[in-house]
Structure 1
Amino acid sequence: MKRQLQMIGFFALVFMFLSFGLTCIVHADEQDIRLNIQVDAGLNGKVKQQQGYPVTLTITNEKADFSGDLVVTLPVGNKVIPIDIASGTTKTITFSVPAMREGAFSRGPNQKVQRFHLYEGNWEDGEEVTIDTSLDLSPAYMAREKLVIGVLSDRPDSLNYIKLASFQGNSPEVIHLQASDLPEDATGLDVLDMLVINDYSVAKLPDNIQAALKDWVGEGGTLVTGSEPGLQQQFGELADLLPLTVKGKEIVQKMQGFSKLYQKPLQADSIELFTGEIDEKARVLYKEDSLPLVAEKAFGQGDVTQVAFDLGLPVLADWKGSQSLWETIGSDAGNRNSQMMPLNLRMNDQLTNMSRTFPTLANFKVSTLSYLFIAYLLLILPVLYIVLKKADKREWAWVVIPAIAVISSVGLYAVGAKDRSGHVKTNTVSVISVDEQGIGSGDGSVSMLSKGAGAYTLTMDSELDPVAANNRYNPQQTVTDLPFVEAKGKHTAINYRNVEFWSPRSAAIDYPVKKYGHFQSGLTRADDNISGQITNNFKHDLHDVYLISGNNYQKVGDLAAGKSKEISFSVKDKSFYQRPIEGVAQRLFDQLGSMTQHSDQALQADLLSMAIRNNMQRNVNTPVLIGFTDEALYPVTVNGDETVQNNLHLFTQPVTIQLPGNEKSTFSSEMNLPNISVLDGQIFHNGTMQNQLFFDAESGTYLLRYELPASLKERSAQLKEMDIHITNNRNGTTYSLYNVESDTYEALDGNQASFDQRVHENYVTDNAVVVRVNASRNGSIKVPTVRVKGVINP
């Protein structure tokens, strides 16, 4: 018994020792943590699939002063954040994460990647110190189909009714924002599809945040604001984006101007309706007699919509027309989200693949290689045999044949590698879209080709916000396998390690919103002819300049910087009124180039096709001028040295073609990309936003609104004939055309319907033709093509 008690006592002591030891180890680990870091990702902790989002780090230093680098591992590389923090202080650092999908770091079930590493000194040769290994970027991902609306207001509760609106059959995700939530760059705002500002002083925000908001709009964001006295002053750096300058007000009891949205007027005992001057670049969407109610102004690739009253009016929450009003305002708000396309169609991925195309031996045509092989066989077999036989030196064949093979191989190798010798080569491709004032932005990619194995540093202007591209996360990779991206003053360096011999490395770039230059045009259309002068006011010489519209194009030719060219061409039986569609790239360059051929035409066709597919000019329904330049837009260095740059940049700009002032003339136009709204059901994917002639939806009822080009509306055009063509009408889907006079929908049977009697009076409502689609089951729905003919100034 005594022995048993001794054994029990012994194991009890061992257990206490181990327990104490484990406790001490945990305590020691906590003591070893160099800095305490709290991570907040997203806007109010929420992000959207494949969209950038902001991250806020709250860093507390309870030990000695610290100076070093924090490295955050992302799927495309490591972001280096310098940290200098004094002892006993807390510091806040914000940065933005580029677009990535949920679960991008997954190694498998219950396996995590350590995303944060801290180095005392610097990441290259400093010592890694201990931080909490559980730190992570773990925001809540919102449903991809939801429209995300940010709200900035000192009375946020007054805008809660927006949550009841419907966008393409889905309720929106509304995020109330504080000044502290706003990121310092436009990438962090990519979470939002729309930003509503009402009763809020933007001017009180820091200058860099105001600049980020402006850049976000310029890159395709939709900003909506109400009106109040002193709005221009309250909007600070964004004041020049407002379509209406408030100068006075009127008190009304009801508004009839929204009757097209809802039959009953918006009314109350007293509504302040603010009046003023409409910007010459703005357009009025709704008005009360002569007073604007809603105006819109484009800026870059985005737009600003201003409502002439307080958006927080209590009567708006009760008025049943509010939902239709918000649906109209937000109809284009999700178009900027090109990342929602399949991965292989994403613009950055395509640009990266194009920039990684360097001249190689593979560029020889098959026919050329065939001729070389035939010549080689002729030389080796009959020619060599005859020569050696005549000289009676046939035994020399054992030496001559291998020598010819070696010389041929070395020659082919030298020709194929000639562009890989000398300085490091870089390729840059991009698409930049500007408005008629020359303000724009764009996307691009830079790739370098290594001369030998080793480490390479690709450096460029920080304005381009470069991120490592085409690096897919491999679960076997360590933090040092991925490139390191760090800001160095006005430049950003991407450090690639362990680069293989003759291997490309790429960076995606984001051209900032600014003035790039523009085409100055004075084109007019008279009868069946377009003529006028086009001037290149860009800083770069342009080649392959074209005017494109719908599926039609007209060559302008080469145009040096500052030079002008007169053009004149017939447009009989051609439209040239609306924005281009993707098919024009194929027609213009003969065929969409295969990337295995790498011809100049193939690259140009791919750039143009990609630009159209990604809505290069989504705000306007007008023809577009395009031009290419081979000149460098920004300098690029590799390992501190200048590079031999190959460049191909596409500039696009909408252009206004003036119609006859008082002369009567005819016109024709084709419309195939309608605005789609939901009466009943839900849209899963709206392909028309990417120039695709279909949308995927559940069973329900949908309205397709085909807007006539704005230039026709300005000249009081009258439709005389209309054809509606329906392709691949699947079973269970029916189409009908809205008749304005009878207020009914007329069934469209078959694949073709033609109208030539009172077309304008019967079928045009608010400058648009409306087609209703009834789908009895889920699936893809083709959108009809509407062709019209008519008279200008009838």
Structure 2
Amino acid sequence: MKQTIRWCFALSILFLLSLMPITEAYAAPQLEVKATAGFQNKIKYGEGLPLTVTVVNSGDEFSGDLVIDYSESYGIGSAKAIPFTIGKGETKTLNLALPGLSEDMAYNSDYQMFYFYDGDWENGKEIPYKGNKSIRPNSFGQDTTFFLTLTESADRLRALSTVKMVGMGGSQIIHLGQMKDFQFPTDNAAYDLANYLVIDEYVLGDLEQEQQQAILDWVQTGGVVLVGASDNTSAELGLLSEKLPLTLTDERKTLKAEKLTVFANNKEFTEDIAIFGAKANEGSRVVMKSDNEPIAAINSIGKGAIIQTAFSLGDEPLSKQANYSFLLTELIKKANVNQIYQNYGGQNIKEQMTNEVGQMNELFPSFQVSTPLMITIVIIYIILVGPLLYFLLKRKDKREHAWWIIPAISILASLAIFAYGAKDRLVRPQIQQSSFYEVQADGSLSGYYVESLLSNRSGNFTFEAENGTTMVASKRMNPFADNSGNVQAMSILNEQADKDQLTVRDVGYWSVSSVLGESNIQEVGQFAIDLTVEGGNVRGTVKNEFPFALKDVAIWSGTKMINLGDLESNESIEVNEPVGSALLVPIAMSNGSQQYMGFGSAMKAADLPKERKNSLIRMSQMTGEQKTQPAIVAHTEDAIVPVSLKDARAEMSAINMIYQTFSPKTIFSGEFTLPSSAFDIAVNTEETSGYYNQMSESKFEWFMSNGSYSYEWTIPSNVPVKDVKWKELQLANTDTSSISVEIYNVATKAFEEVTSGRFSIKENIDQYISADGKIKFKVNKQASNGDDYTRLPELRLKGEVQK
């Protein structure tokens, strides 16, 4: 009986112990996730977007890391780790910003985007949860233009739906002011998918300071704000009011319909509108004026701009005018902001960096092994283990020792080959840093970089970046596997207050991994440029005001580099060089520049620095395609990118390119010729349904659907148009099989037919040049085979300055 009681007691204890894990599981956090992305669930491929994550906890407190597993685009991506604590019965909403979201993940049904780790992601246990495992936003291509609006009624800005500009593959209009319970982002990256923010009598000043600052920071990085007039514009716009290009007065005036017609590229307006009196603020640029009073002006801020009008954007009768969209198009075009419409094959800039710069940057000189040396070692080895060893052993009558001597020699030879190949890889990791920066007006640097790591061991490597510099890893692609998910297994980003940390995980022994991103460095310096072009020569001085030495300083004019030499910090150089033309022209890249990758010829280790530099020049021109000025370009071998390897010393090889555009003083005298590369050109469709996009670095190769287009050439502003007697106007390379061209006669206010592929006018040339130096053409594209490729004609002017 006692034995039975003991067994029952023991079984009871075991039963109670078996219940303990169930009790613990019941007491664990019970999380449920709801997530949304983009604006109205719309995003743009490879561009920044808002992400809202709401977490409900019906269990015990959770404290650890929330890891968001995502890719910015197909080739780049790093998971993001966020410290996260939520109490029992609590609901928390995180308003975040992602630098991009690849649509490839939407095709993977098993893809999980959110992970919770108890403690931290490195050592913690994964916590299960319910709800959204991933998100499925509607993704649009890079050529889709996003308009965000702030207005009391969407009808006031319906003309935006028919705005058409170069490279637009379509448009999306998101009326933020009409969205219920919309939370304005506090991170400017959330606005990166937007091209334009249109503010129509909206009180922006009611937003929190951080929300207003996010909009201003977005403008700094390339966003464009279009602001209309109201009774109290300055007070309504909060932080933006300090950056407005116009100061409005209480005076009311009338702007005639005829003036609006001129502003809208001769598209007819039938009613006058009311405008405010205005004066231009210091540093702003007036782009539309009537009777010497500003109607619209622009203030450039960093890479972006604020456009302000002296009239309301949404009031009638303007908003009801049939051609209002053409006026808006002209306003936006005049901002001259490099909205990325270039043909990158559907890739964003950072992904393009991995191809144009990253592939070259990942080639290390230590990869190259001397072929003659290897052949010599093999020959010596064959001689040693062959006739020489046999002769020596036979002479000593010790041939029985060959069984251990031959393996020993093989081992020694292998060790020698290994030591030679690994001499630069054993002690420290190696890093190659390549970047290109544009010098801004305030002395800051803005650009992109790639850092490639050649590891000396296996395991994790952590990079640190200072504020203003982003990081993302180039994905280590497996051609035999699905690469769309589990990004956290490759790299994880921890954002911190002072420095961000990116951990590249499970790096193989002697393997290459790359980190890239956008970088903005404040108060660095600039070039002091004082150059004059006269008589086909450029003269003056260029001074290096950066705190580091510069190599291969050159004047970048068109596709030509005029070499000036090297400059130490605070050193100047006297310039007296032939230009080969009457003026310096905007930067450009020749069509043959893709040969920098070394295709068709074997590259040596000594060629790699030059090829890295060439790839940076090409990439900088692609991102600065709309530049209308020449530039000073150079590179430094100092590691100026604020990204470093944590807890490790690495051997650094840096090539960081810097360029700064400038306007040289140009003195024209006697006869001169303006080549096609000297002009600024603008293409615009005459039809709302037309599609057109520049297809390469050449200004004259386009994708254009059938239809009618305006084709406008602007003479450089430094040409004294009023003092020039024009001798000849030449139009060449017209593809008469697919397009017909007409030239606008300013005197008769009518278009005249261009009758041949090579067209020349030698009399009354002034009749075809407007007072502000513009020459207008109409291009009618009618390709019978449906081919969108179009070669636009090139213009050249010959003239003589009158004494």
Q: TM-score range by the shorter chain?
A: 0.7 to 0.9
Q: Does 1:464 align with 2:469?
A: yes
Contact 1:546 1:555 in 2 (8 A): yes
Residue 253 (structure 2) aligned to one of 227, 251, 254: 251
What is the TM-score normalised by the length of structure 1? 0.84
Contact 2:105 2:111 in 1 (8 A): no
Aligned to 1:369: 371
Shift of 1:604: 0.9
Aligned to 2:339: 335
Residue 326 (structure 1) aligned to one of 328, 341, 347: 328
Q: How many angstroms apart in 2 are the aligned matches of 1:592 and 1:257?
A: 58
Q: Deviations over 1:130-189 (max 9, x none)?
A: 212543222122465432111123555422332233335766321112494433333221
**SS of structure 1 residue aligned to 2:354:** helix
**SS of structure 2 residue aligned to 1:509:** strand
Q: Deviations over 1:264-304 (max 9, x none)?
A: 77676761333113433x33222102112222333333333
Q: How many angstroms apart in 1 are the aligned matches of 2:439 and 2:602?
A: 28
Q: Does 1:497 align with 2:505?
A: yes
Decide which moves more: 472-481 or 208-217.
472-481
Aligned to 1:167: 165
Q: 1:544 to 1:146 in 2, by over 3 A?
A: same
Aligned to 1:630: 637
Contact 1:612 1:691 in 2 (8 A): no
Aligned to 2:104: 103
Aligned to 1:23: none
Aligned to 1:570: 578
**SS of structure 2 residue aligned to 1:216:** helix
Q: 1:202 to 1:429 in 2, by over 3 A?
A: farther
Q: 1:791 to 1:485 in 2, by over 3 A?
A: same
Aligned to 1:481: 489
Structure 1 unmatched runs, 5+: 1-27
Aligned to 1:5: none
Amino acid at match of 1:273: F
Shift of 1:738: 3.0
Q: Does 1:122 align with 2:128?
A: no
Q: How many angstroms apart in 1 are the aligned matches of 2:762 and 2:405?
A: 81
**SS of structure 2 residue aligned to 1:625:** strand
Shift of 1:114: 1.5
Contact 1:585 1:592 in 2 (8 A): no
Q: 1:126 to 1:730 in 2, by over 3 A?
A: farther
Q: Does 1:621 align with 2:628?
A: yes
Q: How many angstroms apart in 1 are the aligned matches of 2:764 and 2:638?
A: 53
Residue 656 (structure 1) aligned to one of 659, 663, 666: 663
Contact 1:593 1:603 in 2 (8 A): no
Aligned to 1:670: 676
Q: Does 1:518 align with 2:516?
A: no
Aligned to 1:6: none
Q: How many angstroms apart in 1 are the aligned matches of 2:771 and 2:589?
A: 24
Q: How many angstroms apart in 2 are the aligned matches of 1:737 and 1:674?
A: 14
Aligned to 1:418: 423
Residue 772 (structure 1) aligned to one of 778, 787, 795: 778
Contact 1:593 1:606 in 2 (8 A): no
Decide which moves more: 665-674 or 536-545.
665-674
Shift of 1:724: 2.4
Residue 71 (structure 1) aligned to one of 67, 71, 74: 67
Q: Does 1:272 align with 2:275?
A: yes
After superposition, residues 25-40 of structure 1 pair within 5 angstroms as 34-40=30-36
Aligned to 2:81: 80
Q: How many angstroms apart in 1 are the aligned matches of 2:129 and 2:657?
A: 46
Aligned to 1:226: 228
Q: How many angstroms apart in 2 are the aligned matches of 1:584 and 1:769?
A: 29
Shift of 1:548: 1.1
Shift of 1:502: 0.9
Aligned to 1:138: 136
CA RMSD between the two structures: 3.9
Q: 1:373 to 1:645 in 2, by over 3 A?
A: same
**SS of structure 2 residue aligned to 1:191:** coil
Q: 1:535 to 1:483 in 2, by over 3 A?
A: same
Q: Deviations over 1:74-111 (max 9, x none)?
A: 1323211211233343322122223343233533xxx2
After superposition, residues 679-718 of structure 1 pair within 5 angstroms as 679-680=686-687, 682=689, 684=691, 686-687=693-694, 690-691=697-698, 693-712=700-719
Q: How many angstroms apart in 1 are the aligned matches of 2:548 and 2:516?
A: 22
Amino acid at match of 1:687: Q
After superposition, residues 277-356 of structure 1 pair within 5 angstroms as 277-280=280-283, 282-331=284-333, 335-336=339-340, 340-343=344-347, 346-350=351-355, 351-356=357-362
Contact 1:674 1:688 in 2 (8 A): no
**SS of structure 2 residue aligned to 1:627:** strand
Decide which moves more: 447-456 or 409-418.
409-418
Residue 202 (structure 2) aligned to one of 200, 203, 226: 200
**SS of structure 1 residue aligned to 2:763:** coil
Aligned to 2:57: 61
Amino acid at match of 2:93: T
Amino acid at match of 1:563: E
Q: 1:768 to 1:386 in 2, by over 3 A?
A: farther
Q: How many angstroms apart in 2 are the aligned matches of 1:149 and 1:344?
A: 19
Contact 1:184 1:212 in 2 (8 A): yes
Q: 1:678 to 1:458 in 2, by over 3 A?
A: same
**SS of structure 2 residue aligned to 1:522:** strand
Q: 1:239 to 1:712 in 2, by over 3 A?
A: farther
Aligned to 2:14: none
Shift of 1:745: 3.7
Q: How many angstroms apart in 2 are the aligned matches of 1:171 and 1:348?
A: 26
Amino acid at match of 1:567: V
Q: 1:457 to 1:297 in 2, by over 3 A?
A: same
What is the TM-score normalised by the length of structure 2? 0.83
Q: Deviations over 1:513-539 (max 9, x none)?
A: 744422121112223222111122223
Q: How many angstroms apart in 2 are the aligned matches of 1:189 and 1:444?
A: 22
What percentage of residue pairs aligned between the two structures are identical? 22
Shift of 1:227: 3.4
Q: How many angstroms apart in 2 are the aligned matches of 1:627 and 1:300?
A: 21
After superposition, residues 545-584 of structure 1 pair within 5 angstroms as 545-573=553-581, 575-582=583-590
Q: Deviations over 1:421-442 (max 9, x none)?
A: 3232222211112334434521
Shift of 1:29: 11
Decide which moves more: 621-630 or 735-744.
735-744
**SS of structure 1 residue aligned to 2:327:** helix
Aligned to 1:761: 767
Q: 1:584 to 1:468 in 2, by over 3 A?
A: same
Amino acid at match of 1:41: A
Shift of 1:349: 1.8
Q: 1:636 to 1:536 in 2, by over 3 A?
A: same
Residue 786 (structure 1) aligned to one of 782, 795, 798: 795
Contact 1:35 1:61 in 2 (8 A): yes
Shift of 1:39: 0.9
After superposition, residues 702-741 of structure 1 pair within 5 angstroms as 702-712=709-719, 719-726=726-733, 729=735, 731-741=737-747
Q: 1:384 to 1:333 in 2, by over 3 A?
A: same
Q: Deviations over 1:397-452 (max 9, x none)?
A: 98999888766655554344333232322222111123344345211122222211
Shift of 1:306: 2.0
Aligned to 1:609: 618
Q: How many angstroms apart in 2 are the aligned matches of 1:69 and 1:452?
A: 28
Contact 1:361 1:415 in 2 (8 A): no
**SS of structure 2 residue aligned to 1:323:** helix
Shift of 1:635: 4.5
**SS of structure 2 residue aligned to 1:360:** helix
Q: Does 1:536 align with 2:532?
A: no
Contact 1:54 1:188 in 2 (8 A): yes
Q: How many angstroms apart in 2 are the aligned matches of 1:669 and 1:394?
A: 84
Residue 438 (structure 2) aligned to one of 415, 433, 438: 433
Contact 1:459 1:640 in 2 (8 A): no
